[in-house]
Structure formats: structure tokens, C-alpha cells
Structure 1
Amino acid sequence: MARIALKVDVDTLRGTREGVPKLLSMLAAAQAQATFLFSLGPDHTGWALRRVFRPGFLKKVSRTSVVSNYGLRTLMYGVLLPGPDIGRKGAAEMRAARAAGHECGIHTWDHVYWQDNVRERDAAWTRRQMQQAFARYTEIFGEAPATHGAAGWQMNEDAFRQIDDWGMAYASDGRGTAPYVPTIDGVPCRHVQMPTTLPTLDELIGTDDLTEDNVHTALLKLTEGTRDHVFTLHTELEGGKLAPVFERLLAGWRAQGHELVSMATWYRGLNRQGLPELPVTWGEIPGRSGELIVQPQG
């Protein structure tokens, strides 16, 4: 039986308070596990509007309804409205995910700030951002997080080293095809990277005649067979306007015979011996603007 690890990125306060409960209900109905990765500090979603000059950004947002997915208020956070503290205001919904039996972990402290800056920042900045998230997570859950999944699939070498220093056995910080051990300057890290292997809904909708009504069929074609996958979803999308699409995906994956699991369950089934050791690499992904962490091929 093939497995699909469901990795849930929680980017905003709205996604925490509204999207998480909705996804918990859908996952329970499908008897599916997932890993919820939380943004734990301020919601500065409005800062993302500065990406308007980034190549490919306008093309991407033109294919998706940004306002309906995120809400006008969320898009004003950090611009016309102060950014609310997600960890303070959404702690109950975060704990509800764990109470429902799902794995929880760190996404980021400040999503937009991390995504737009981490590639060029130094070790001190990187570790400060990550330690803030770690401390808030521990405050909310009363224990250290088991895993990490980077905001926007953006990292730097010091961020990978911090994951090792935390003692995490696995993380999902980039895109790729299969688990591997990342290397920095030729030295392997101690943790395994389990990259997102499938395209996200917002990368597909609006391309090749794909709409909210038929995009699930394109994804289901990619999961035919016995290969394991990691699928990243977002509480602001699949826990909002795209909930019907996700429900069709869950039913389709069940019909294909897949086991829907958390990253922890997926990791426990891995044989770490023989995993390839591959350098930290940047590259582009169809349907997404800019470069992100990708698994080297070949």
C-alpha cells in the first residue's frame, strides 16, 4: 500500500482559527492523519504585496483568487493593520490539532519575513527567527516540536544546521521526489529531508485548463501506482474555498488504496540506510514564482 503524507502549512491567523478546525473535520471523516506546521509569531501577510515586482508573481496571483482565499483583512496585516500574534490568538486551535491525533511542528515565526529574507541572512538572524518559533511552540504545547517545514520552501545552510541542533530526525523544507540526506559543504546533515513531491493546488489551478472543478483529477493521475508521496496543503486554501477540492482528493486517494499519514508515520517506515546524500540546492518549480529549495536530480 502506498502512503501519502499530508503536510499542512498554516500561514495566517485566519488559516489557524478557521482553516484548522475545518480541516480537522474533513480529516476525521476520511480517517486520515496529517502533520500541521504552524506559523507561531506575527501575521504580516500584507508584506507579501511587495512581491509584485518579482518575476512570475503577478502571473501566479492572477490564476488564484487571493482576496477570497486569504480575506481582505488578512491582506492588510502589516500594511494598514498591525500584524496579530498568531501563537497568542490561535493557540487553542493549534492544540486541537494535536488533541485530534495529528502530528504538529514548526512552520515559521513570521511567514512573510522568513520567506522573503532567509536566503540572504546570516546565522544569527536565522537562528533567532527559528528559536523564537521553537520557544513559542514549546510554550503552547508543553513539549519540543518533532519536525519543521519551511515557509515558502525557503531555507539557508544555517537553518538546516539548526534542525540538526534541535535533534530533529526529519523535516520537509523543500521540493523533490524522494527522501534524502542534505549535505552542506560536503558534510551530511543528521536529519532526513522528506520533500514535497506533488504540486500544490494553487500551482495547478489556471494552468492547462485546470479549474477548481477538475484539478483533483490531475493530482489523482500523479498518485496512481505504488509510489509514496508528500502533499502540501494550506489551511487558507484547502481549509477554505478549496475545501470541496480537498474532499474529492481524500476520497480519490482512498479509492486508489493509499494510506493517508503524517510525516512521523511516513518517516517510521523509511529505511535510512542507503538514502542518497545530496547538496542543498535552489531551483524553480512550475507554477511558483522565484527559487526555492529543491532536491538535486541525477
Structure 2
Amino acid sequence: MAMIALKVDVDTLRGTREGVPKLIALLRARDARATFLFSLGPDHTGWALRRVFRPGFLQKVSRTSVVSHYGLRTLMYGVLLPGPDIGLRAADAMRAARDAGHECGIHTWDHVYWQDHVRTRDAAWTRAQMRRAWQRFEAVFGTPPSTHGAAGWQMNAEAFRQLDDWGLRYASDGRGAEPYVPLLDGTPCRHVQLPTTLPTLDELIGADGIDENNVHEALLSRTEDGRDHVFTLHAELEGGKLAPVFERLLQGWRRQGHRLAPLAALYEQLDRTRLPHLPLAWGTVPGRSGELIVQR
């Protein structure tokens, strides 16, 4: 049975408080399990407005109703309103995902700060950000995380080294076609990368005649191949206005015979000796602005 590994990126306070409970209910109804990756520090979503001059950013914003998905208040965090501490204010919602049987891991400490800066920052900055996220995760859950999924699919070499030093067996930090072992300066990492293999809803909606009514069909057509896939969803989208779309996807994947499971289940069935070893690479993805970690 082919698998759809469900990876939930939780970026904001609103997504944690409102989107996570809704997704837990949707997943329970379909007897599905997922990996929830949490932003654990301050919500500075408003800082993302600085990306206005990045190629493709305005086009993406015009295709997806950012205000309706994230809310005006969230878009003011870090600009006109102080950024609330997500891990302090929404810990109960995070633990609810664990208590419902889902895998929980680290997304980031400060989502926008990491996404916009990690590519060019040094080892000390990188490890400091990741250490804060690790410490907060342990404070919230009482145990270390099992996995990591980078904010905005943004990493640097030192971040991959930190994953190894933490002893993580697998993570999902980039985009690609199949699991692989990252190479840093010719040396293989000790963990496996499980890249996101499918486009996200916000990358598809508004392009090529795709809208909220038929985007599930576009995705389901890509999962008829009988292969395992990793699908990234967002608590702010699929746990909000796009919840009906996600429900149709879950129904469609069940009809296709897919197992709906967390990243851990995908990792456990791998034969690591057969995985390719690939160097750190950057590239673009249709429907998303800027460069991301990609599999070459």
C-alpha cells in the first residue's frame, strides 16, 4: 500500500490555536495520522511584508487571499503589534496533537526570522535559533522531538549538522522526489531527508485554471502513480478556509488506497542502504517565490 506522509507546518499563533484542533478532528474522522511541526517562539508574521520586492511574492499573494487565511491581526504581529510567544500561549493545543496520536516535531523558533535569514547566517546564529526551539519543545512536551521540518524549506549546512548532533534519524527540510541522505562537503549526514514531493495548495490555487473547487483533483491526479509521497499542509490553510479541500483530499487518497501516516511511518519502511547521497542544493518551485532547499 502506497503512503501519503502528512506533514503539517504550523506557522502562527492563530494556526496553532484554531487550525490544529480543526485538523485533529478532520484526521480523526478519516483514521489518519500526521506529523505536526510547530513554530515554538514569537509570531512575527508581519515581518513577511518585507518580502514585497522578492520575485514572485506579489504574484503569490494575489493568487492566495493572505488576509483571509491568516487574519489581519496575525499580519500585524511584529509590525503594529508585538509578536506573541506561541509556545507560551498555545502549548495546550500543541500537546493536543500529541495526545491525539500524532507525531510532533520542530518547525522553527521564529518562522519569518529563520526563513528570511538562515541561508546567509553563520554557525553560531543557526545553532542558537535551533537550540531555543529544542529547549522550548522539551518544555512543552517533556520529551525531545523526533523530527524537524524547516520553515519555508530554508536551511544551511550548519542546520543539517545540528540535526545530526541532535541524533535525529530523519527530517523533512526541502523539496524533492524521494528520500535521500544529504552530503555536506562530500560527507554523508547521519539522518535521512524525506522531502516534500507534492505541491502545496497555495502553490496550485490560481494557476492554470485551478481554484478551491478543483485543486483536490489536481493533487489527486499526481498521486495515482502508486508511489509514496510527502504532502505539506499548513494549519492556517487546511485548518482554516481550505478545510473542505483537505477533507476532499483525504477522501480521495483513501479511495486511491493510500495509507495516511506521519513521517515516522515513511522512514521506518525505508531501506537506507539503497538511498542516494546528494549534496546540498537550492532551486525554485513553481508557485512559490524565492529559492528553497531542493533535491538534485
Range class of TM-score, shorter chain: over 0.9
Distance in 1 of aligned mates of 2:26 and 2:70: 20
Question: Which residue pairs with 2:93 in the alignment?
Answer: 93
AA partner of residue 93 (structure 2): E
Q: Structure 1 segments of 4 or more deviating over 6 A?
A: none
Pairing of 1:71-110 with structure 2 (within 5 A): 71-110=71-110
AA partner of residue 107 (structure 2): H
Q: 1:216-240: per-residue Cα shift (whole Å, max 9, x none)?
A: 0000000003100000000000000
Distance in 1 of aligned mates of 2:174 and 2:225: 23
Distance in 2 of aligned mates of 1:58 and 1:215: 21
Q: 1:12-58: per-residue Cα shift (whole Å, max 9, x none)?
A: 00000000000000000010010000000000000000000001100
Question: Which residue pairs with 2:152 in the alignment?
Answer: 152
Question: Which residue pairs with 2:196 in the alignment?
Answer: 196
Distance in 2 of aligned mates of 1:225 and 1:43: 38
AA partner of residue 247 (structure 2): E
Pairing of 1:80-229 with structure 2 (within 5 A): 80-229=80-229
Q: 1:52-89: per-residue Cα shift (whole Å, max 9, x none)?
A: 00011000100000000000000000000000000000
Aligned-pair CA distance for 1:274: 1.5
Distance in 2 of aligned mates of 1:211 and 1:226: 25
SS in 2 for 1:160: helix
Distance in 2 of aligned mates of 1:292 and 1:246: 24
Question: Which residue pairs with 2:36 in the alignment?
Answer: 36
Question: Which residue pairs with 2:46 in the alignment?
Answer: 46
Aligned-pair CA distance for 1:171: 0.1
Question: Which residue pairs with 2:271 in the alignment?
Answer: 271
SS in 1 for 2:239: helix
SS in 2 for 1:196: coil
Aligned-pair CA distance for 1:284: 0.3
Distance in 2 of aligned mates of 1:103 and 1:177: 22
Question: Which residue pairs with 2:257 in the alignment?
Answer: 257
Distance in 2 of aligned mates of 1:122 and 1:146: 25
AA partner of residue 144 (structure 1): P
Aligned-pair CA distance for 1:294: 0.0
AA partner of residue 16 (structure 2): T
Question: Which residue pairs with 2:18 in the alignment?
Answer: 18
SS in 1 for 2:104: strand
Question: Which residue pairs with 2:7 in the alignment?
Answer: 7
SS in 2 for 1:135: helix
When the two chains are superposed, the root-mean-square deviation of aligned CA atoms in Å is 0.3
Distance in 1 of aligned mates of 2:88 and 2:271: 38
Question: Which residue pairs with 1:292 in the alignment?
Answer: 292
Distance in 1 of aligned mates of 2:94 and 2:150: 18
Aligned-pair CA distance for 1:10: 0.2
Normalized against structure 1, the TM-score is what?
A: 0.99
AA partner of residue 134 (structure 2): F
Distance in 2 of aligned mates of 1:285 and 1:266: 23
Normalized against structure 2, the TM-score is what?
A: 1.00
Question: Which residue pairs with 1:243 in the alignment?
Answer: 243
AA partner of residue 181 (structure 1): V
Q: Unaligned stretches of 5+ in structure 1?
A: none
Distance in 2 of aligned mates of 1:293 and 1:176: 9
Q: 1:201-224: per-residue Cα shift (whole Å, max 9, x none)?
A: 000000000000000000000000
Distance in 2 of aligned mates of 1:31 and 1:158: 38
AA partner of residue 103 (structure 2): E
